[in-house]
Amino acid sequence: MKKIILVASLFSFICLFVIAQTKKPIKKQDDSPAASIERGRVIYQRECLSCHQADGGGVPHMNPPLAGSSDVVGIDKKKIIGIVLNGMTDRIPLDDEYYSNNMASHSYLTNQQIADVLTFARNSFGNKADVVTLAEVAAVRGGKKK
């Protein structure tokens, strides 16, 4: 009797294990540019829109536009990654214009979130540029994993 119970429970454990494995495939992240842009849109709306505005146009003399910004679509992505990670309070001209507001550090975002939001900014508001990758953000953050 004991043996039957043991075999039966072992069998049902194996069945449950197999069902659990087949029913819950581990969701792999979609690495396509389109998927990154869509994730970035959500992050932009939550983290950046209040200052840089829904159309990426910014607020004159306060918050710079991301639309048409030469840095945002620039080949050197380290600059914009650094601005999101460290914030920006310098009074230096951006496309010949000064902005009075300060941008806080967004280093609490993960490397993937920063890659996504910048990929979104580089491909929205009329901008067109290649993606920002996880590795590019990780390189600027400098080893500290997030």
Binding site for ligand HEC (CB under 6 A): 47-48, 50-52, 63-64, 66, 69, 71-72, 80, 83-84, 88-90, 94, 99, 101-103, 106, 117, 121
Nearer to ligand HEC, 22 or 89 (CB): 89
The phi and psi torsions of 44 (rounded to 5 degrees) equal: -60, -45
Q: Count of H helices and E strands in the chain?
A: 6, 0
Minimum distance, C-beta of residue 50 to ligand HEC, in the bound complex (Å)? 5
- CA gap 116, 100 in Å, rounded: 27
Task: Work out how close the CB of 143 gets to ligand HEC at its nearest, in angstroms, rounded to a whole number.
Answer: 22
Of the two residues 31 and 95, which places its CB atom closer to ligand HEC in the complex? 95
As measured in angstroms, the least distance from the Cβ of 62 to ligand HEC is: 7
In whole angstroms, the minimum distance from the beta carbon of 128 to ligand HEC comes to 16
